[in-house]
Each structure stands twice: as C-alpha cells, then as structure tokens.
Amino acid sequence: MAPVDWSREWLTPWHVPGESLELAARRTSTAAALLQAAPPGLPRFVPHDHLPTGEAYEAFIHRTGTVPTRDNLHDFFNGLVWLNAPQAKRRLNRLQAGEIARTGIGATRGPLRDALTLFDENGAVLDAPPALWQALVARDWQRLFVTDRALWQQSRLLIFGHALMEKLVFPRKQATAHVLLAPGPDPSIANDDAAIAAALDATHLATKPFVPLPVLGVPGWWADNTNFCFYDDSDVFRPRRSPE
C-alpha cells in the first residue's frame, strides 16, 4: 500500500483511528489489523479468498457477517469506514443484499444498487448553511467557493466513499465527491453515523440524489485554490446541465 498522508484536511475525521490502523496493517495484514480493531458486533474481516467464486460480494457479507479484504488501500479505507460508520455501512449492505436477492446479478445493477454503490465508493455528506447548498445544487462555483467562501467556516464536509479516499492519496484536481442530498426540505446531513444511516432511504436513493463537488475546491483543502483562477477550469468546475 502507498503511504497515507494523514495531515490532509479531507482525512481529518479519519486521522486518529486511521493512522494507527495503517501501521498495524503494514505489520500484519489489512484483514488482521481490521479484525483486531473491530469492536464486538461488527462484521469480521477475512482474507479476500474467503469469498466463493460466483457469489456477490455484498450478498456474502450479509449472509456470513464477514467482509472479504485485500491488502490494498481500497479495502483498507473500506474497513476504516466500517469501523467508524458501522450503522451506515450496515444499511448500505442490507439494501444491496436485498436488491440482489430480489433481482439477482445481471448486466446492470439497477437504479438503487447504482446509487448505493456510488455513495459507498464515492460519496460525501455536507452540513452547511443554506446559501452554500443553493450554490452547490446550482453548480454556481463562484458563489460557492468565492463569494460565499467565508461560510465554509460554518460547514463540515465528510468524505465517506472509500474509493474516493484512495484516489485522494494522490490528489488530483478532477477528484469529485458525490454529495448526498438528505430526503426532505433540508439537504444537510450531520457528520455522524446515525444521521448518515437515517438518510439512506431506498426510495430516495433510487432517484440518485447526489450533487458533484470537486473536493480540492473546498477552502483550506488545497493551497492552489487561494488563487481564484483555480475555479475557472470548466473541465472540472462544470456548469449545471440545462434540462432536456
């Protein structure tokens, strides 16, 4: 595994458990380190070869209460989220397994499984003032990151997706989170496990209620964005599509 820079702002919520866990994983294995750190009641972490050929990963976790784990950053971050957001991860797994049982494994996942996978891999949650939400949903990047920049001091963005965490080990300007809009009139989701789990409503998720957010644009997360020309890159900070 490539070394993780735990001083990065997007890893602040994960720093304390993650740094010691990384050291343990390097001494033994990712599965062993996660298993040692897991409190009672969490799924057990096992080497990836425990997953039978032909059985869906999420269905296996639900059936056995074990998480197949490889020695790489992708599975390391997945395990880190399991340890620290178990209610949300259980909810995701329960919904995935339910859909697999209902429809089987086919060429496409379907809208609900697509949304579950997107959030699990690349999701984030935001707790922010309404003005920032309005700018984000409108893809009004200048308002979001320049005009209303000071409002980020009242905000919290939590990177939840383990694949996104892996990508950000080598940060690139294009790295984009899919921020989950909460069901109901207030789109914010508090950055705690129970609140995230409660927002994972199957009917709501099937509508793909996500807004893209290039994470290196967040004030304080990347030195280059102090120069506001950073946001002029339309390949990254794309305008909202017009309705067809």
**Quick one: tokens of 234?**
């339309």
Q: What is the pLDDT of residues 160-206, one digit of tens each?
A: 999 999 999 999 999 999 999 999 899 999 999 999 999 999 999 98
**Could you tell me the CA-to-CA distances from 66 to 40, 69, 144, 225 in Å, in that order?**
13, 9, 41, 42
Query: What would the 3-class secondary structure string for 190-244 be?
Result: CCCHHHHHHHCCHHHHCCCCEEEEEHHHCCCCCHHHHCHHHHHCCCCCCCCCCCC
Q: What is the pLDDT of residues 119-139, one digit of tens each?
A: 999 999 999 999 999 999 999
Q: What is the pLDDT of residues 3-58, one digit of tens each?
A: 999 999 999 999 999 999 999 999 999 999 999 999 999 999 999 999 999 999 99
**Could you tell me the CA-to-CA distances from 139 to 34, 37, 144, 156, 205 in Å, in that order?**
38, 40, 8, 18, 21
Q: Is the pTM of this model over 0.75?
A: yes
